[in-house]
Chains A and B, each alone.
Chain A
Amino acid sequence: MAGASGLGTGPGAAGGDGDDSLYPIAVLIDELRNEDVQLRLNSIKKLSTIALALGVERTRSELLPFLTDTIYDEDEVLLALAEQLGNFTGLVGGPDFAHCLLPPLENLATVEETVVRDKAVESLRQISQEHTPVALEAYFVPLVKRLASGDWFTSRTSACSLFSVCYPRASNAVKAEIRQQFRSLCSDDTPMVRRAAASKLGEFAKVLELDSVKSEIVPLFTNLASDEQDSVRLLAVEACVSIAQLLSQDDLETLVMPTLRQAVEDKSWRVRYMVADKFSELQKAMGPKITLNDLIPAFQNLLKDCEAEVRAAAAHKVKELGENLPIEDRETIIMNQILPYIKELVSDTNPHVKSALASVIMGLSTILGKENTIEHLLPLFLAQLKDECPEVRLNIISNLDCVNEVIGIRQLSQSLLPAIVELAEDAKWRVRLAIIEYMPLLAGQLGVEFFDEKLNSLCMAWLVDHVYAIREAATNNLMKLVQKFGTEWAQNTIVPKVLVMANDPNYLHRMTTLFCINALSEACGQEITTKQMLPIVLKMAGDQVANVRFNVAKSLQKIGPILDTNALQGEVKPVLQKLGQDEDMDVKYFAQEAISVLALA
């Protein structure tokens, strides 16, 4: 009777003098300590059922004390527990008793596993809202203080996330204390705590009075931004965004910009990387004036940074930077101040930088308009289409739609084709796989004529690639093409070629025919499936390779629903019955499965 699976089938009322509704709950409670983690997890996830059965009083006096000491358990159990407790207020007697949930969550907020701790903190934040103002000061604030002054840094890191939820509802005296505690965590001995404080600085600033932001948060921010550990300094960049949103332009210039300028030139590439990575957010938070005077020059530096990671992060932001500029200045700023640097990056020494740029550069064409695109961007695209690194070429091809809107794809098609062909035949199968994925998109952009003429043969060649993943992707690709170009096109160009492969001497190619039929039948509809595909599938049931035969069974199962009853009963059923008697185990198995799924038995 072990296992929660026994729940519904517990003993009936017959003969017992106990309360049979208690039985399932009894099992759940016992399984809180089962040796099997899954069963413990299951019980924890049904904690509300247990609590409901126990009633609010016993939940408070017995269940919670027990749970408070369960911190020895596996992470996934603790995670589930932390989550459950966040929604437990009703089960302990409502807001007046919400504080009863604090002890177990306090323990969970000190475990070493970050995900558990974070979940406990999330639940604590949730519960804090359910405390009355009096209870908040009587129970919650003391808990935060305990955590903040805990011996171990896990508890102090958790405290950092709790200040902002109790601050707005606390009395002035308590507010001052909270600010004081946050201050001291910002200069904690351990980098872990300083990092936690730095990452919550912005959030805390938002709930503070503006005066306190200026007088207290800004100095903390300045300190953290010049911390000896670069892992702390880089978090200050993030905080910069939130703080900037709270301050006026003048204050930004005097209070925040000196620090940000310092970050842009930080000795550590990781800090500069962070500036590049958060550039769009910074740009929005700082406003157009500072952007023009400070951020654009900073961005130029990031684009030519000595560390490739930084250049790549900056290159990624080129498009967003343009979009976030005021409409009237966009074109001139990009053309005069950014484009010269982009041109350099196109021939960067590092492939990651080039491919980062290639993934966004096409987006600039909408900002710069047709003429600029043709004159300035097009040469870059063409150069990138010939880049030695396949990822660069792929990124250009995958973003063709942006250019198509502005200048039409014909401008590019001359260079496009060789690039596609080369990628299609790349020695690395992952590269081939990537280009296949873009085929439907390309087909849409280039039109059916161009496709038939230049690309169709490539798509068919992939069907006989020696890597299975490519053949599989090629099959799916055909289906998407049919969806795009219609069944008539399929019937004329694709289906005949696919069906020819049914006679290929290589059994892998014969199987590809079956896989194609699986993929295409739905898109092609009943008529083509019945008339052209079904006969081939049925014929292949006599193949000498068992793998082909059981795939016939699978295919029949797949296309069965599309066929009419006549075909099913008259043609499919006898073949499946024959395969059901096959000497090969697997063929038999799949044939019988098809028979039962298609209800032909």
Chain B
Amino acid sequence: RDSLFPSSAAHSPPAGYPSILLLNSSPPTNTSRLVLCPPRRKCSIPGPSDHETNHTALTNGTAHQKKAFPVLDLNYEHVHAPFEISLWVLLASLMKLGFHLIPRLNNIVPEKKVPPVMNADVFFLCLLPPIILDAGYFLPIRPFIENIGTILMFAVIGTLWNTFFIGGLLFAVCQINPGYTMDLGLLPCLLFATIISAVDPVAVLAVFEEIHINELLHILVFGESLLNDAVTVVLYHLFEEYAGAGTVTVLDGFLGIICFLVVALGGVLVGAIYGILAAFTSRFTSHMRVIEPLFVFVYSYMAYLSAEMFHLSGIMALIACGAVMKPYVEANISHKSHTTVKYFLKMWSSVSETLIFIFLGVATVDGTHHSWNWIFVTATVILCLIARVIGVIGLTYLMNKVRIVKLTTKDQFIIAYGGLRGAIAFSLGFLLNEEHFPQKKMFLTAIITVVFFTVFVQGMTIKPLVELLAVKKKQEAKRTINEEIHTQFLDHLLTGIEDICGHYGHHHWKDKLNRFNKKYLKRYLIAGTRCEEPQLLSFFHKMEMKHAIEQVEKGGGSNVPSALPSTVSMQNIQPKKPTVEPERMLPKLPKGKEDEIRNILRTNLQKTRLRLHSYNRHTLVADPFEEGISDIILRKRVIQKQKSLNTHINNYLTVPAAPPDTPVMSRARLASDPQARGAKYNADNVPTFQVDLASPQSPDSVTLLNELKKVEDQGLMMKAPSSKSMEGERDQQKLTRCLSDPGPSADEDEDEPFLK
């Protein structure tokens, strides 16, 4: 990471393998562009001068000799670079698909086509930022801040301990075992230890996502992996600079500490500035919704690059940028932009991760980088493990004296076991200058071994170990409105008690921050009146939506009033549910009240955001605001109203605990993929229209809509006062449909066959 834009000579790839390089901006005609520059073939760099020369050459050629006009011609060089990049991305994605269909080890070595060698710059500039941005944007802020002390301890002190322990002992091993390949000074050892001791966010994310561990442990290990970047950067530069000189004085050490503070805080500051800028920009994008996601991505990437430019910690900048900008940006951007941001981030980070591991795999197999040395490699692996274990135990002992929630032995074991190394270590090793470090190849071999050991052995066994040790898993966060109300109440209570005691504790500062946020930041960074909305309210709306969806899922038929006998299907759907329901009957709301509630909810529903904990890449919970859901909710409300007008059946507001994701997931599939609907997608509870007649269990959302449409058309049961609101809703619905991504045509086409 030292030299961001090296000239191509510094990283000349082995002969025969093309590599991806970044040209710097020194030659005037070549601006920074990605070019594939294989040594054997001529570098064809598209540029004005080149075109001219080609052109003149051509004309010259034609002047001398007229060739037959080529009907079919192959010009591979022209599309060279983008073609191969796309091919690799495609391959990575196909492999990802393959793994989910056929569970196998992530160990495929690509064919001997043109395996690329990972260039450190590609890694740091292209592959790493999406993953980190994804992590930062969806970072659960509250547990992060609550545990920040522990996380910092692990990140800073833990990494330092690891480095010096491993470095020192490796040096000792080298001294005991002298031999040419093992002739390492203390500084190279320390440098190597720096590279190998940092826990890697990519690997941690990849592994921890699968095991669904409880939030505390997840955030501890993950936070540590993010924040130790600053330490790594400083130590790496420090040792690299002085490895040539041979000694590190106390002054250097002192400067190193200052440098660390600068790097860490500077990175965060840079990130925060860009975050505020992004938030501010998003305030004005209400007329150009389409480019909103672009701002999010570009500002974040700029934050990363700016930080890297000043040798600050790019990872921390990226995290800070994402975390700072998120609450404000989310309040400002539209639903669709929000969805776009979420999906793009997940997509890019997913592809990046796969590519990284492919490159790692290739680099493993590629023999030219390796120089195997049994003693060194085994010593490294063993020392890494020991250092990690001792470090975790020691630090936990210290932290438990200060922490409220103590870390148990089980927790400590998982934290120690989850200290995975990954591609960052490898890339840092790759960046080493071979002249200064003749043992670079040995280093790389050792790094790869450790990475593979941690990722595969530890990564694969952690899941059964979690089961075996019965570690607390992630709680299915299905909060009730009561919980929300009461926890907020308790927060206020605690703040008040702290004030009475005169104790400036946790709650006091949180309260102060909230007030500051509300007074200053929100006013400037959030457009319109959204800044006023309290959290409890958004939670309530979110609950309403969820219940509404569950209602529709569970038994839309039961909500259908018995006075809608128009279509046979409707009658079949509606079961004659007797009043001996296992669910509770809720007290009937007076008619006027229900109207009001409906109106309020309708007006408010469109405005509120859903804040999803989407830091798991593989199971994105659907945003119920996606296409069609709001329509369903409106319809549902109408049905409810109808029902209460005609009968005395009460609302069902309780639902049995539905399997957490399935109905919503199927909803996501339905909502986001209209073609699936058209193709009669036969998944779990999404039957086709015909089948649905008999089973009230799982109505297809589309069918419900269509039925209602038909009902409307026939003008049944629409009393005068309600018809106006129906029309209003229909207009609204049409509007949302027109603006919806799946496109009106997909929906409309589907309507016809069902209604006929």
Chains A and B belong together in one complex: no
B residues touching A (Cβ–Cβ < 8 Å)? none
